């Protein structure tokens, strides 16, 4: 029987059980005997060491119906847990947990079983998890409640339909502390960038390109349409001046459109491209020519070959001649890259730096903007 095992064996087994089974074991051992109390102690010890917890609706139901287990479990988590995922959590469960506090949780993901209670749910979540730095909502939420998180810095929007359900009186501009925004392109388009480009602390916007733009043969393919709101907003208010970096990773785009976007960002200093966004050297220098302020060109995502380079050096030379400062090119030192780069990129204004090829992005195709926070401008 489990209870006759020593603590080392019990802990080894408990660590391999999922949370549902751990809770079932706790309930099965609710007794005053020393052996069963020892199992409780080992379960609590295991929960004390967790840094990431995933609570399902089944787990919530178990905790809701066993207040002693709820008290023990929540008290145990308050020690080290930094990330919490709540799946289809019942509103009744949140109300029961309102008096608990898990200040160490920094990353929070949450879905409700009934999104109609999202305002009340958000209020309770800010009370239970006061130290949240990053929120990954899989439900419509109330931005004004999120402003109560004093440490809040990052919002990761999960679904593109997210914005359609938000309240008309809630908008992202109510989160002045936000530094990083990760969202699908549909969410970005719905905001037209006017909802967050003025945020004083915003440093990065990562746009996940939707499946609709995954096929380059689609005649309507235009992933850069998500940036049109920036152009329009900047055209009237000048608020694109704080955009300092642009990265395209796994995004097929029309060369002419990319040149226009690069030209529109007047203070762009860093550009990261791959072979999907830039297929030839001629395209590369045409893009660079659009923005004389460019200081760093990162092509470490490119596996270059002989077919990438042009035999004619005129376009590179004229582009570099029209610049007033050196251009640093960072490339991946893999395959033929080293020899080909140093053979073709020979202008005195070019500074070449070899680096490691960057790993594949787990988010899929993305467009990333780096900004200088407005308070630093």
Q: What is the pLDDT of residue 235?
A: 39
pLDDT at 138: 72
Distances (CA, A) of 203 to 82, 309, 320, 339, 376: 23, 34, 29, 36, 11
- Is the model's pLDDT at 181 over the cut of 70? yes
pLDDT band at 367, cuts 50/70/90? Answer: very high
| Mean pLDDT of the 269-278 span | 94
- What pLDDT score does 314 carry? 94
pLDDT of residue 239: 61
From start to end of the chain, where are the E strands? 52-55, 83-89, 107-112, 134-137, 154-156, 180-184, 204-208, 243-249, 270-272, 296-299, 327-332, 350-355, 366-371
User: Of the given ranges (47-61, 188-202, 292-306), which has the lowest mean pLDDT?
Assistant: 188-202
* For residue 193, pLDDT beyond 80: no
Burial (0-12, 13-18, 19+ Cβ within 10 Å), 228: middle
Helix (H) / strand (E) element for 337: namely: helix 337-344
Q: Which of 24-38, 143-157, 331-345 has the lowest mean pLDDT?
A: 24-38
Q: Which of 195-199, 315-319, 351-355 has the lowest mean pLDDT?
A: 195-199
Residue 221 pLDDT > 70, yes or no? no
**pTM for this prediction:** 0.87
Does the pLDDT at position 180 exceed 90?
yes
Rounded Cα–Cα distance for residues 205 and 251 (Å) = 16
Determine the pLDDT at residue 234. 43
Residues 6+ apart with CB under 8 A from 63: 23, 69, 70, 73, 93
Q: What is the mean pLDDT of residues 277-297?
A: 95
**pLDDT (mean) for 24-48:** 84
So what's the pLDDT on residue 98? 93
What are residue 127's phi and psi, to 5 degrees?
A: -80, -45
More confident residue, 93 or 1: 93
pLDDT single digits (tens) 245-268: 999 999 988 899 999 999 989 899
Residue 114 pLDDT class (50, 70, 90 cuts)? confident
Higher pLDDT, 91 or 363: 91
Q: What pLDDT score was predicted for residue 217?
A: 54
Phi, psi dihedral angles at 20 (to 5 degrees): -60, -45
* pLDDT of 219 over the 70 cut: no
**pLDDT, position 35:** 60
What is the pLDDT confidence band of residue 120, given thresholds at 50, 70 and 90? Answer: confident
Q: Which residue has the higher pLDDT, 9 or 139?
A: 9
Parse the chain into domains and list their residue ranges. Answer: 207-377
Q: What is the pLDDT of residues 75-101, one digit of tens each?
A: 998 778 999 999 999 999 999 999 999
User: What pLDDT, on the 0 to 100 scale, is given for residue 305?
Assistant: 84
Tell me what the pLDDT averaged over the chain comes to. Answer: 85
């Amino acid at each position: 029987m489990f209870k006759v095992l020593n603590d080392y064996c019990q802990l080894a087994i408990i660590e391999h059980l999922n949370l549902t089974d751990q809770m079932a074991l706790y309930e099965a051992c609710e007794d005053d005997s020393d052996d069963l109390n020892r199992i409780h102690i080992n379960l609590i010890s295991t929960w004390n060491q967790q840094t990431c917890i995933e609570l399902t609706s089944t787990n919530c139901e178990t905790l809701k119906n066993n207040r002693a287990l709820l008290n023990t479990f929540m008290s145990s988590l308050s020690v080290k847990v930094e990330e919490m995922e709540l799946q289809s959590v019942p509103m009744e469960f949140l109300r029961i947990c309102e008096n608990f506090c898990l200040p160490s949780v920094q990353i929070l993901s949450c879905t409700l079983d009934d999104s109609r209670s999202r305002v009340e749910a958000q209020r309770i979540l800010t009370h239970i998890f006061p130290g949240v730095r990053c929120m990954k909502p899989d439900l419509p939420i109330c931005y004004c409640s999120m402003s109560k998180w004093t440490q809040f810095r990052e919002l990761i929007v999960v679904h593109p339909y997210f914005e359609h359900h938000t309240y008309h009186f809630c908008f992202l501009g109510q989160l002045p502390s936000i530094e990083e925004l990760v969202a699908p392109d549909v969410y970005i388009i719905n905001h037209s960038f006017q909802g967050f480009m003025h945020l004083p602390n915003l440093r990065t916007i990562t746009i996940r390109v939707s499946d609709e733009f995954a096929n380059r043969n689609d005649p309507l393919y235009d992933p850069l349409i998500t940036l049109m709101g920036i152009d329009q907003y900047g055209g009237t208010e000048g608020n694109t001046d704080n955009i300092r970096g642009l990265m395209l990773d796994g995004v097929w785009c029309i060369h002419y459109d990319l040149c226009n976007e690069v030209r529109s960002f007047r203070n762009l200093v860093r550009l990261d491209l791959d072979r999907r966004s830039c297929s030839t050297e001629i395209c590369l220098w045409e893009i660079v020519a659009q923005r004389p302020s460019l200081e760093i060109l990162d092509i470490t995502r490119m596996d270059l070959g002989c077919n990438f380079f042009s035999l004619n050096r005129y376009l590179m030379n004229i582009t570099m001649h029209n610049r007033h400062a050196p251009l640093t090119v960072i490339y991946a030192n893999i395959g033929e890259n080293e020899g080909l780069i140093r053979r073709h990129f020979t202008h005195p204004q070019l500074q070449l730096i070899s680096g490691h090829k960057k790993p594949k992005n787990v988010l899929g195709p993305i467009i990333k903007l780096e900004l200088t926070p407005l308070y630093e401008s």
